[in-house]
Amino acid sequence: MRLLHWRVTLLFVAALAASSAHAQDPERRTLDAAARSGIAGRFLRLDDGVTHVEIAGPDTGQVVVLAAGFSVPAYIWDSLYQRLAGAGFRVLRYDYYGRGWSDRPDASYDQSLFVRQLGGLLDSLHIRKPVDLAGLSFGGTVATSFTARHPDRVRSLIYVDPVFNTGRPLPPEERSPQAWTTYMVDRGGTEAMATGQLDDFLHPERHPDWVSRYRVQQQFRGTREALRRTRVAIAEAPRQAAELRALGAQARPVLIVWGREDRAAPFAGSRALRAAMPRARFVPVDSAAHLPHLEQPAIVAGEVVRFLRRADGR
């Protein structure tokens, strides 16, 4: 009887926790045309769903594509996006599937999905000339995979505090949707995920609206599951060392920008990337953490513009 009592108690506690998590779950809206009404940018229907993209700069400018991080939508490229457009480049930033205003398809969120999304985006916009491709944080993984699979479509690569596939699969208890829900609840749920974005800054107090902007995407069904599937895919995917070495041996110009105070992708990790890409230009950024283009915008934009103009032969 005592054993049965404890089992019932545990089931009750688990049900209560699940009920509490459901009550606090912000994912109560469907992301559809009505929800997207009034949102800036374009919405392109690609093979796996609708993709939200913003485009700035002159029609005749060299195309620069900005690939975002793990969970923050395309606005993570603020400042650099505007500055590059002002310098005469045609700049694209877009939301990955599962983030921002793009669809949350029922799919495996692996590199094939993100490579397919970027390729479909360029095709839909009739962009045939090679682009300059920048990857921030998780975007480094996307940029690397896309360039390795479509080398003729990328003129130059820019890495900003990148992270890459770990090659270390998650244990089974961390792979399931139930485990992800528990993981989220144990850490304060989706609200903690929103406030945790401030850890990417050296001076978070200078970005007072960062958390509220992040919360917007959390109201749409499928966001949390998309992030879980991406996390699993990153862990299961092979390490990208061979891809990076192969890209580093090619003639394509590469720029690496890294905040010295980065805690998400520690600065020491830059050594391995520089070893794989010995001809890359490396720019360490003082007084900046994981998002140096936001904390030192003039410095980073200046370096990127000079790099791109050299690639142009200017």
Residue 221 located in a structural domain = no
Q: Is the pLDDT of residue 218 over 80?
A: yes
Please, what is the average pLDDT of the chain?
A: 89
In-domain check, residue 233: no
Q: Which of 156, 164, 197, 96 is nearest to 303 (CA)?
A: 156
Report which of residues 170 and 224 the model is more confident about.
224
C-alpha 229/C-alpha 203 separation (Å) is 31
Binned at pLDDT 50, 70 and 90, residue 4 comes out as very low
Q: Is residue 185 predicted with pLDDT exceeding 50?
A: no
Residue 184 lies in a domain: no
Q: Is residue 212 part of a domain?
A: no
Task: Indicate the number of domains in the chain.
Answer: 1
Determine, yes or no, domain membership for 228: no
- φ/ψ of 125, rounded to 5, equals -90, 5
- Please report whether residue 143 resides in a domain: yes
pLDDT tens readout for residues 45-89: 999 999 999 999 999 999 999 999 999 999 999 999 999 999 999
**pLDDT at position 30, please?**
96
**Position 24 in a domain:** no
> What pTM, to 2 d.p., does this model score?
0.88
By the 8 A CB rule, do 279 and 252 touch?
no
Give the residue numbers spanning the domain of 299. 39-165+238-312
36 class by beta-carbon count within 10 Å (0-12 exposed, 13-18 middle, 19+ buried): middle
More confident residue, 179 or 241: 241
Residue 222 lies in a domain: no
Strand partners, 134: 66, 158
Percent with pLDDT over 70 in the chain? 84
Name 176's Cβ contacts closer than 8 Å, sequence gap at least 6. Answer: none
- Choose among 50, 15, 5: nearest CA to 32: 50
The tens digit of pLDDT for each residue in 221-264 reads 999 999 989 988 888 888 899 999 999 999 999 999 999 999 99
Confidence of residue 3 (pLDDT cuts 50, 70, 90): very low
Question: Which CATH number characterizes residue 140's domain?
Answer: 3.40.50.1820
The CA distance from 277 to 254, in Å, is 8
pLDDT tens-place string over residues 264-303: 999 999 999 999 999 999 999 999 999 999 999 999 999 9
pLDDT category at 10 given cuts 50, 70, 90 is very low
- pLDDT of amino acid 25: 74
CA distance 273 to 239: 13
pLDDT at residue 26, rounded to an integer: 83
Q: Give the whole-angstrom CA distance, residue 307 versus residue 305.
A: 5
Cα gap 234→166, rounded to integer Å: 6
> Of 21-25, 125-129, 190-194, where does mean pLDDT reach its minimum?
21-25
**DSSP states of 231-254:** HHHHHHSPPSHHHHHHHHTSS--E
